[in-house]
Amino acid sequence: MTEAPEALVIGAGPAGLMVADELARAGRRVLVAEAKPSPARKFLMAGKSGLNITKDQPDAIFQAAYPEDWIRPYLAEFGPAQVMDWARGLGQPVFTGSSGRVFPVAMKGSPLLRAWLARLDQLGVTLRTRWRWHGFDGTALRFHTPEGERLLAPKVTVLALGGSSWSRLGSDAAWAQWLAEKGVQLAPFRPANMGFAVDWSPHMARHFGQPVKGAALIVGNRRERGEFVLSAKGIEGGGIYAVSREMGEGTPLTLDLMPDVAAADLSARLARMKPGESLANCLRKLGLAPAAAALVMEFGRSLDTAQAIKSLPFHHAGSRPLDEAISTAGGIAAASLTPDLELHALPGIFAAGEMLDWQAPTGGYLLTACLATGRHAGRAAARLDSATPHP
């Protein structure tokens, strides 16, 4: 038996919940189908150390952080100021840190999510967990559920299934094959905001888990200040994520481990040290942190000491696996979408969030774009006054 809900949202992450919010506010009866036992798992994981919801910047500067022009109109509609108002509207006051990053005062994602789910419940949204989409059956959508297979033929559907990383939290991109079979154009998935593998020498093991703070990371003409962490697998963390796009495209990474000390001043300090001083002692006397000094010992032994500190070439073995990336690029190509985020090949089906082909750095940009595209797709789907079945 095929059921026909008025509006179906597949995926209960931030994009999907925003879609449901907009549909319900427009008076639609909404069913949200979520494959996992609980909603928004990646959202909660991202907020464990402090939920960064957006970045408080002028709109033009904020939008410039997104390489793809096509995503920017949605951010113009729902940017940093609107995200902050949205959080406050859920009873979650926010504050802006010194870097411009915006956090709920509660810091964690769970209070915000609880308030959001309570509002959706009041709006009449039905949430079904452990409902996994398994493609199409003619014009219907097939789901595996705890009660067995279900077929749904809604008037309007919005897909918000996430990208292709952190599959254990629900973003496994299984949906890609079913959309491709229907003629939807997909861009290959690529890791974004990812760590990089390093073939460390044995002496580095004692430094695993230690951060390198305050370094300047240089890729091409870009110079970014940031922190990153050494691990048995390689390097990861905000500083690396900020330049991961360029690194992934093959641009070499160079480190300035004492960016607040001019090269001439550093050379003068080194010149005052005893002749024959070992490299390790020089680094210690300069006050370089153990993890940073270890990097110089790893990659800079053949260089002049000042050069090794101010312009250390960092050697890596490529990006870590796709599933480990904070986010992914690739997915539904912009050419497959109308300006309302409806699929050309599947009228009546919209898409939002990270399953679309865009990318952004960490720092609130990822969540903002998921919310913005979810809002736009939800409003557009609510306007669709057609019972045309899915092809």
Structure tokens at 17: 């919940």
Region 90-119: what's the mean pLDDT? 96
Name the CATH code of domain 2-190+325-383 (choices 1.10.10.10, 3.30.70.340, 3.30.465.10, 3.50.50.60).
3.50.50.60
pLDDT tens digit string along 133-142?
A: 999 999 899 9
What is the rounded (10 degree) CA torsion for 59, 62, 68, 73?
A: -20
pLDDT tier at 387, thresholds 50, 70, 90: very low
- Asked if pLDDT for residue 3 goes beyond 90, the answer is no
- The predicted structure's pLDDT at residue 293: 97
Rounded Cα gap, residues 33 and 8, in angstroms? 7
- Asked if pLDDT for residue 358 goes beyond 70, the answer is yes
- The predicted structure's pLDDT at residue 4: 82
Relative to beta strand 126-129, strand 132-137 is: unpaired
Region 53-72: what's the mean pLDDT? 96
Neighbouring-strand partners of residue 145: 148
pLDDT tens digit string along 41-51?
A: 999 998 777 89
Exposure string over 148-185, b if 16+ CB within 10 A, otherwise e: eebbbbbbbbbbbbbbbbbeebbbbbebbebbeeeebb
- The predicted structure's pLDDT at residue 389: 44
Region 205-217: what's the mean pLDDT? 96
- The predicted structure's pLDDT at residue 65: 94
Place of tokens 């402090």: 50
**Helix, strand or coil, per DSSP, at residue 324:** helix
Q: Is the dihedral of CA 371, 372, 375, 381 positive or negative?
A: negative
Threshold 0.85, pTM exceeds: yes
Residues 6 or more apart from 55 whose CB is under 8 A from it? 62, 65, 80, 100, 101, 102, 363, 364, 365, 368
Q: What's the mean per-residue pLDDT of the chain?
A: 94
Region 192-206: what's the mean pLDDT? 97
- Asked if pLDDT for residue 388 goes beyond 90, the answer is no
- The predicted structure's pLDDT at residue 49: 77
Neighbouring-strand partners of residue 225: 216
Region 269-285: what's the mean pLDDT? 91
pLDDT tier at 390, thresholds 50, 70, 90: very low
**If you ran DSSP here, which 8-state letter would residue 339 be given?**
T
Domain ranges in the chain?
2-190+325-383, 196-314
Rounded Cα gap, residues 383 and 280, in angstroms? 67
* Residue 199 burial class via C-beta count within 10 angstroms: exposed 0-12, middle 13-18, buried 19 and up: exposed
Cα angle for residues 356, 357, 361 (degrees, 5° grid) = 105
The H helix count followed by the E strand count for the chain is: 13, 20
Region 268-292: what's the mean pLDDT? 92
How many other CB atoms sit within 10 Å of the CB of residue 11? 32
Contact 94, 54 (CB under 8 A): no
Percentage of the chain surpassing pLDDT 90?
93
Please state the separation of Cα 7 from the chain's center in Å: 27
